[in-house]
Amino acid sequence: MFELSSDHEDFRRTVRDFAEQEIAPHVHRWDREHHFPADLIPKMGEMGLFGLVVPEEFGGHAGDGGEFTYLCVAIEELGRVDQSMGITLEAGVGLGINPILTYGTQEQKARWLPDLAAGRALAGFGLTEPDCGSDASGTKTKAELVDGQWVVNGAKAFITNSGTEITSLVTATARTGTRENGKPEISAIMIPSGTPGFTVEAPYDKLGWNISDTHGLNFDNVRVPEENLLGARGKGYAQFLATLDDGRIAIAALALGCIQRMLEECTRYANERMAFGKPIGVNQGVSFQVADLAVMAENARLLTYRAAWLKDELDAGRRSHTEVKQAASIAKLYTSEAAVTSTRIATQIFGGNGFMEEYPVARFYRDSKILEIGEGTSEVQRMLIARGLGLPA
């Protein structure tokens, strides 16, 4: 059965100390100014956070197993202090590094992974488009092979880590032809930053995740070498589906960090806030809600780390993709919806103070909603879970 080892817990304390010292003192200002702290990424790299799943030969720290669980621990602890920094790590590894690590050639890995694993660079993954979200098979971006080069035209939307000063590339899905059954052939193509015709749009004015870097992208006759194809031609759609399975577990860890923080904030506030001469925690209307937060945190932790353990077991050849896929969707669905509920409860417990930006519950309230949307909406998770149970598609 799965459980976190003493090494995992030691690692948790290390990441928590880093988050409390390097992020917490600045997070209110960063959020207000929509500032992405690029100088923090190399520090996270020095701690090994971006290289947790990367083999040593490519500059990472993957070793004796359990790497994905370590990653989830790191995401949870960063997310407990700030959800934006949690998603920066989650996307940097899950969407930036993992596709290259899983599907790249030796040459591609050697070129890109060392800097990404060290935190000297970030990479994005361009899947979503302005008119194409959950229906990723409806990709309109096209790539045509001309004289040994891919010529890419199209647009992507809501792409994390795509426009920072240290972003080195974006991997984008594109139509590269049509299959015999008439459906589009979708491939993944690596597009380095600064390539002529590759334009990063202005950052979005978002409801939450204000510290996270998020942009729309445009490709106007962007030309990259034929060898920038990532994985086999026509396998881009299958690759992204597999990538999202892992990403859903990581998002569950991010949501868990949110729930845990709300539990801590509400427990403290219910003991300190006085009303009618007593701490508000003596009132069952408050104490019962704090108890509910504790149940949510416990359930979220069990679901998340069971899914992470299954992922590590899969990597060791002891579990099946089907088990991991189902566990990932269940963990993502429960934790993301519980995170949104936890911030609503916290805001209510804090009363008027919960509506003030000086209190962290307000920021977490804004940040939480996207957890039910990114890397597969709640509706998509329910569909996948139902299919996993054998119900008709």
Q: Is the pLDDT of residue 148 over 70?
A: yes
> How confident is the model at residue 63, as a pLDDT?
74
Q: Please tell me the distance from the alpha carbon of residue 19 to that of residue 40, in angstroms, as a whole number.
A: 11
Q: What is the pLDDT of residues 324-337, one digit of tens each?
A: 999 999 999 999 99
**Tokens at residue 203, please?**
């950052």
Q: Are residues 276 and 336 in the same domain?
A: yes
> How confident is the model at residue 62, as a pLDDT?
87
Final residue belonging to a domain, choices 233, 263, 292: 233
Q: Are residues 108 and 54 in the same domain?
A: yes
Instruction: Give the residue numbers annotated as catalytic, written as ranges.
Output: 375
The answer to whether position 1 is within a domain reads no
pLDDT band at 241; cut points 50, 70, 90:
confident
Among the listed residues 234, 258, 128, the one whose alpha carbon sits nearest the alpha carbon of residue 185: 234
> How confident is the model at residue 137, as a pLDDT?
73
CATH number, position 130: 2.40.110.10
Instruction: Quote the longest CA-to-CA distance of the chain.
Output: 79
**pLDDT above 70 covers what percent of the chain?**
99
Q: What is the pLDDT of residues 258-287, one digit of tens each?
A: 999 999 999 999 999 999 999 999 999 999
Average pLDDT taken over every residue of the chain: 96
Q: Are residues 115 and 132 in the same domain?
A: no
Q: Are residues 268 and 290 in the same domain?
A: yes
Q: Are residues 118 and 129 in the same domain?
A: no
Residues sharing a CB contact under 8 Å with residue 136, sequence separation 6 or more, in sequence order: 127, 128, 173, 237, 240
Q: Are residues 167 and 107 in the same domain?
A: no
> How confident is the model at residue 256, as a pLDDT?
98
The answer to whether position 131 is within a domain reads yes
pLDDT band at 237; cut points 50, 70, 90:
confident
Final residue belonging to a domain, choices 217, 233, 249: 233
Q: Are residues 189 and 67 in the same domain?
A: no
> How confident is the model at residue 135, as a pLDDT?
77
Domain tally, the chain: 3
Q: Is the pLDDT of residue 1 over 60?
A: no
Average pLDDT over residues 41-52: 97
Q: What is the pLDDT of residues 185-208, one digit of tens each?
A: 999 999 999 999 999 999 999 999
Q: Please tell me the distance from the alpha carbon of residue 19 to that of residue 74, in angstroms, as a whole number.
A: 10
Q: Are residues 216 and 246 in the same domain?
A: no
Q: Are residues 105 and 139 in the same domain?
A: no
Q: Is 369 exposed, middle or buried (0-12, 13-18, 19+ CB in 10 A)?
A: middle
Q: What is the pLDDT of residues 280-337, one digit of tens each?
A: 999 999 999 999 999 999 999 999 999 999 999 999 999 999 999 999 999 999 999 9
**Tokens at residue 209, please?**
């995740």
CATH number, position 287: 1.20.140.10
Domain that holds residue 306: 237-388
Q: Are residues 278 and 343 in the same domain?
A: yes
The answer to whether position 275 is within a domain reads yes
The answer to whether position 326 is within a domain reads yes
pLDDT band at 66; cut points 50, 70, 90:
confident
Average pLDDT over residues 37-48: 97
Average pLDDT over residues 95-122: 97
Q: Are residues 383 and 290 in the same domain?
A: yes
pLDDT band at 39; cut points 50, 70, 90:
very high
Final residue belonging to a domain, choices 233, 253, 276: 233
CATH number, position 74: 1.10.540.10
**Tokens at residue 43, please?**
């520090």
Rounded to whole angstroms, what are the CA distances from 239 to 69, 79, 242? 21, 27, 5
Q: Are residues 266 and 383 in the same domain?
A: yes
Contact call for residues 234 and 187 (beta carbons, < 8 A):
yes
